[in-house]
Amino acid sequence: MGASRNVVSLSSFIFGAYILLSASTVNCNKDHLRGLQSIKWAPASTPTMKQAVAEYEDWIENVRMKHELKQKLADKPGMIQPDLTLDFPGMKQYTDWESVVTPSTYIVVDQNGIGDFISLSDAINSIPKNRYRQYRITIQLNAGVYREKVTIERTRPFITLQGLGQPTIVWNDTNFHSGNHTFDSATFGVAGNFFLARYITFQNTAPPPPPGAIGMQAVALRVTSDYAAFHDCTIIGNQDSLYDHNGRHFYKDTFIQGSIDFIFGNGLSMFYNCELNVMPTQWGAVTAQKRQNATDNTGFSFLNCRITGAGRVYLGRAWGPFSRVVYSFTWMSDVVYAPGWFDWGLPDRQLSVYYGQYRCSGPGANETGRVMWSRELTNWEAAPFLSLNFVGGEDWIPQYLKPLV
C-alpha cells in the first residue's frame, strides 16, 4: 500500500539489499547470520552487482567492528561511550531503527523450516528479557498463516517485525473466552518500546457480533508500547479490532477493518494514509477514544485517510468523558452517519469531548446534519493534528516513515 522509496544510504539499504541479493544473485545458506563469515556469495553477474556485493560485505565488516567496540565499552562500568558514528561514518547507533547484523539480532521465522524458527512465539521467547537493552533485533517473518497468540512484553524492547510476503498472524479469542477481559483477547499484543512492524497482517477471526451481543469484543492487535510504529500492515477484526491501549504510536499506509469501535483505547496516535474499512453492520463506530481528563495528552489524529466499506457508522463514540478525535484531509464514504458522533448515551460528555474535521471530502464528510458539539476546525485549530509533533514523532519515528509533506 505504501509508496516505494529510494534508498539513499547503505544503512537504510541493508534489509532490501539482503532480500534482493539473496533472491537473485546471492546464495545464502540457513546459517546466513551464524557468524559473519558464513555468508556465501554466488558470482555477481554485472559490475554494478559486484560493487553492491562488495559494499554490502564492507558494511557487514564495519558493523562487526562497531559491535565489538560497543561490547568492549559496555564491559567498562562508568565509562562514557563515544558516538561511534565518528569512527564508522554512516553506521547507525543502537537506538536507531536498523538492526545490527549478528546471529542473535537477525532472526528468520519460516513455517517450512528454512529459518531459525517455525513459530513466531518461539522466536520472540528466544530473545532475552532486558527492558534496558538499547540495540534493535529484527525478526523476519516469512510468508504464511501463523495461527498463534503472540505477546511481546515490555522487557523486550527494540524489536522490528518485518514481513516477507505479507504473512498473517491469526487467532480467534473474544472477551467472553478471555475471562471477560477484552485486553486479553488480542491475537497480537506488544508492550516493548520502539517496536516496529512492517508488511504484517494481524487478524482476529471471531465472528461479527449480533446486535446487543455481550462479550464479543475480539482484538486483532493491542499496542501498549510507549513508542511503536506500523507501516503497510493490515489489521482485521470486527468489534474492537485495534486496541490502541496507551502510548505514542504511528500507523502509516495501514488497512484497518472492523465494525464496532474498531479503533479504540487511550493512546496518543496518528494514522497517516490509512484505509478504515467498515464491515457490514446496522450501526457501529470507527473510534472509541478514552481520554479521561482535559489535561491528558491522548487522542487520535487521522490524516489523509479513507473511510470505506458498507453499513452505517459514527466517526467516533465518547468512551471517555474527554474523548479526542480529529479527521483531516480524509475521504469519507456514505457509510458515515450524518450526525457523525455519539456521546455514549451520556449527554454531559457533549460539553467535554473534542471531535472535529478539517478539509475532509466525500459523501460522508458533509457537515450538514453533524451534531452541534462537533466542530469544523480552523487552520489554527487543525495545526497540532497535522504534524508528527502530535505524537512527538520528529524525535522517534524512523526517518523513512515520515510523510513527505
Q: What's the pLDDT band for 353 if we cut at 50, 70, 90?
A: very high
pLDDT at 105 over 50: yes
Mean pLDDT confidence for 264-278 = 98
Cell of 145: 498463516
CB 120 within 8 A of CB 150: yes
Which residues touch 383 (CB under 8 Å, ≥6 apart)? none
Query: Tell me, what's the pLDDT at 282?
Result: 81
More confident residue, 89 or 332: 332
More confident residue, 2 or 337: 337
State the architecture of 141-149+161-182+190-401 in CATH terms.
3 Solenoid (2.160)
Burial 157-178 (b: 16+ CB within 10 A, else e): bbbbbbbbeebbbbbbbbbbeb
- Distance (Å, rounded) from C-alpha 231 to C-alpha 16? 15
Mean pLDDT confidence for 256-278 = 97
Task: Tell me which of 261, 296, 343, 348 is the catalytic residue.
Answer: 261
DSSP string, 155-199: TS-SEEEEEES--EEEE---TGGGTS-GGGG-SEEE-STTEEEES
- Distance (Å, rounded) from C-alpha 71 to C-alpha 395? 26
Query: Tell me, what's the pLDDT at 62?
Result: 59
CA-only gyration radius of the chain, Å: 23
Phi, psi of 293 (to 5 degrees): -140, 155
Cell of 356: 472535529
- Distance (Å, rounded) from C-alpha 120 to C-alpha 128? 15
Determine which of 176-180, 200-204, 271-275, 389-393 has the lowest per-residue pLDDT on average: 176-180
Which residues touch 295 (CB under 8 Å, ≥6 apart)? none
CB 239 within 8 A of CB 216: yes
More confident residue, 35 or 321: 321
Query: Tell me, what's the pLDDT at 54?
Result: 60
Determine which of 82-91, 107-116, 222-231 has the lowest per-residue pLDDT on average: 82-91
- Average confidence score pLDDT of the chain: 82
Mean pLDDT confidence for 305-321 = 96
Closest CA to 265 of 213, 170, 189, 169: 189
pLDDT at 18 over 80: no
Active site residue 261: yes
CA torsion angle 370 375 379 385 (round to 10):
-100
pLDDT at 44 over 60: no
Beta strands in 199-274 (DSSP E): 201-204, 221-223, 227-231, 234-236, 242-244, 248-252, 255-258, 260-265, 268-272
CB 92 within 8 A of CB 134: no
Q: What's the pLDDT band for 250 if we cut at 50, 70, 90?
A: very high
At 186-242, the pLDDT tens digits run: 999 999 999 999 999 999 999 888 766 788 789 999 999 999 999 999 999 999 999
* Amino acid, single-letter form, for residue 372: M
Q: Residue 369: left (phi > 0), alpha (psi -120 to 50), or beta?
A: left
Angle at 248 between CA 144 and CA 297, to 5 degrees: 150
Strand 306-309, strand 331-332: pairing: parallel
Break the chain into its structural domains and give their ranges: 10-86, 141-149+161-182+190-401
pLDDT at 392 over 90: yes
Closest CA to 143 of 107, 110, 106: 110
Mean pLDDT confidence for 318-334 = 98
pLDDT at 47 over 70: no
First-to-last C-alpha distance (Å) of the chain:
18
At 355-388, the pLDDT tens digits run: 999 999 999 999 889 999 999 999 999 999 999 9
- Distance (Å, rounded) from C-alpha 94 to C-alpha 134? 6
Query: Tell me, what's the pLDDT at 215?
Result: 80
At 138-180, the pLDDT tens digits run: 999 999 999 999 999 999 999 999 999 999 999 999 887 767 7
Q: What's the pLDDT band for 71 if we cut at 50, 70, 90?
A: low
Determine which of 86-90, 173-177, 255-259, 270-274 has the lowest per-residue pLDDT on average: 86-90
Report helix, strand or coil for 34: coil
Q: Is the pTM of this model over 0.85?
A: no
pLDDT at 32 over 70: no
Could you tell me what percent of the chain has a pLDDT over 70? 73
